[in-house]
Amino acid sequence: MTTSPATARISVDREAVVAPIDRRIFGSFVEHLGRCVYDGIYEPGHPTANEDGFRLDVVDLVRELGSTTIRYPGGNFVSGFRWEDSVGPRDQRPVRRDLAWHSLETNQVGVDEFSRWLKLTGSELMMAVNLGTRGIEAALDLLEYCNHPSGTALSDQRIANGSPEPHDIRMWCLGNEMDGPWQTGYMTAEDYGKLAARTAQAMKAADRSLELVVCGSSGSSMPTFGDWERTVLEHAYDHVDFISCHAYYQERGGDLGSYLASSIDMQYFIETVVSTADHVGNKLKSKKKIKLSFDEWNIWYLDEHRESDEVNDEWRYAPRQLEDVYSVADAVVLGNLMITLLRNHDRVASASLAQLVNVIAPIMTEPGGAAWRQTTFFPFSVTSRLARGEVLKPRIDAGTYATAVYGDAPLVDSVVTVDDGAAAVFLVNRSLTDPITVTVDVSELGVDTVAEAVTMWDDDVYAKNTLADQERVGLKTLDGAVLDGGMLTVTLPPVSWSAISLA
Ligand code: AHR
């Protein structure tokens, strides 16, 4: 039940700047998992494949999605990965068992091929090193292979392998989810903090300008959440730049109302990690502030996957794993999570939607066949395209609705960006039943025209795009958006995400 009439007011103070937009907030994630790489971005023999075996129809969709940095090659996969297997002549690369996802890794795609793929998509590489089964030496070797120009054993090996220019990778993740018992080589916070600090120190001895991400908790529901961050940062604070956050959401038990308010959990997560990091920084009397890399976030129907037999005893190549099909409601939640990331952009400087193709992904493919957009594709691509310049934190005056998980939750959520004569307003209506008419005071933003107004909404909140019906759901025009005398008025359909671009 809602507690107020279906209207809301938002005011935007031009001075309420959260941060200038760092494009890395629109990052994504490609893991050697299921059909993300193999039979996803890479499918030699597909009619659109290029000479490297990369599907160009998928490349086009990635460009349209607007993802920037791409975290690679895992995820849980990285904790058993020997990077040397995946470089050099393809016919000599070994097939290995990937214990994380119980599948076969052919190593036909490695850092050299993936860097070429990134040139096609116009994205930047964010590399993870294996701190599960390996350690400092392998991390340093990979760094030398990727970034050293020439004249050393490993840089010359890269050149001989057909990559004359260094890959020049700026951001590096020090392992993945090292707190999780499912992780190959998982550790206590104490052990990981020491290893991460030593690895970071050594990597920065090679290149002081690298940006390093230390593993935070693999989720805010971990029993060690908070303590993990504190202990790890007590060891590694001086040597790292970011701490990671991972969060996945799903609708549980038919409780759509709580699910639509998932951003409240993300906000709590961010605030907890920021205050823990600042506590350690203050204790160490450090002038540096640790930034957050929200390098895994998405909707993931994890409970259902736990019950399925996707990971079974067979050793399979590119099995169908984690192939969630997303609804309109999922897209609304995803759009709201992006609003939350932007509203915390002063500390969340980088983020990666996990993942990019087939595996809990905005883009789906069929072997030998089509590639198409999931519902979640749309809020991501529109936000990446329209959010420019600086993020502003609006003041939102809206009613609330009762949720089982979060208590009373605001019906409307929003963030605003502004850029030299242009602005964008992103809005969510979480009401299950009512349209809400929102008035946004944008008089301080120097805009007077509605350039574009789109919404993700449907009569059926569970409508999806599938192989059989790839365009069932798309963006709709948000009719009736009016900007008059500095006041923008829009009516948001129930369970909707919308974006309005102003010029
Ligand atoms: O994104 C899927 C998996 O989720 C990643 O491999 C892991 O880091 C996380 O648990």
Query: Nearest CA to 328 among 234, 178, 456, 431?
Result: 456
**Whether 113 is catalytic:** no
- Token code pair at residue 242: 């970011």
222-231 tens-digit pLDDT: 999 999 999 9
Could you state, in chain order, the average pLDDT of each consecutive group of 10 residues for the chain (503 residues)?
73 98 98 98 98 98 98 98 98 97 97 98 98 98 98 98 98 98 98 98 98 98 97 98 98 97 98 98 98 98 76 89 97 98 98 98 98 98 98 98 98 97 97 97 97 98 98 97 97 98 98
pLDDT of residue 313: 79
- Tell me how far CA of residue 466 lies from CA of 61, 346, 471, in angstroms: 16, 37, 8
Protein residue with its CA nearest to atom 7 in ligand 1: 75
Query: Nearest CA to 490 among 421, 437, 427?
Result: 437
Alpha helix (H) ranges present in 261-301? 263-283
Alpha helix (H) ranges present in 106-240? 111-121, 136-147, 153-160, 189-206, 227-236
CA of 75 to the centre of ligand 1 (A): 5
Q: Could you tell me if the CB of 65 is within 6 A of ligand 1?
A: no
Q: Is 130 helix (H, G, I), strand (E, B) or coil?
A: coil
22-386: CATH class: alpha beta
Asked whether the beta carbons of 93 and 104 are under 8 A apart, the reply is: no
Domain-wise residue ranges, the chain: 7-12+392-502, 22-386
Asked whether the beta carbons of 100 and 77 are under 8 A apart, the reply is: yes
**Whether 444 is catalytic:** no
- Token code pair at residue 72: 């690679």
- Tell me how far CA of residue 113 lies from CA of 52, 88, 224, 456, in angstroms: 7, 10, 38, 35
Instruction: Tokens 């037999």: give the residue.
Output: 309
pLDDT of residue 309: 62
Q: Could you tell me if the CB of 147 is within 6 A of ligand 1?
A: no
Instruction: Tokens 């025009």: give the residue.
Output: 477
Query: Nearest CA to 492 among 443, 400, 430, 410?
Result: 430
- Token code pair at residue 345: 């952009």
- Paired strand residues for 11: 395, 441
Q: Could you tell me if the CB of 31 is within 6 A of ligand 1?
A: yes
Q: Is 163 helix (H, G, I), strand (E, B) or coil?
A: coil
Alpha carbon 234 to chain centroid, angstroms: 26
7-12+392-502 CATH fold: Immunoglobulin-like (2.60.40)
DSSP-assigned letters across all residues of 55-95:
BHHHHHHHHHHT--EEEES-SGGGGG--GGGGSS-GGGPPP
pLDDT of residue 304: 81
What type of residue is 108? Q
- Whole-structure pTM over 0.85, yes or no? yes
Query: Nearest CA to 202 among 129, 132, 133?
Result: 129
396-410 tens-digit pLDDT: 999 999 999 999 999
Query: Nearest CA to 300 among 117, 75, 495?
Result: 75
Task: Report the residue among 35, 177, 250, 324 best suited for mutation to probe ligand 1: largest number of ligand atoms under 8 A from its CB.
Answer: 177
Could you tell me which residues come within 8 angstroms of residue 415 by beta carbon, excluding any fewer than 6 positions away? 339, 342, 343, 391, 392, 393, 394, 426
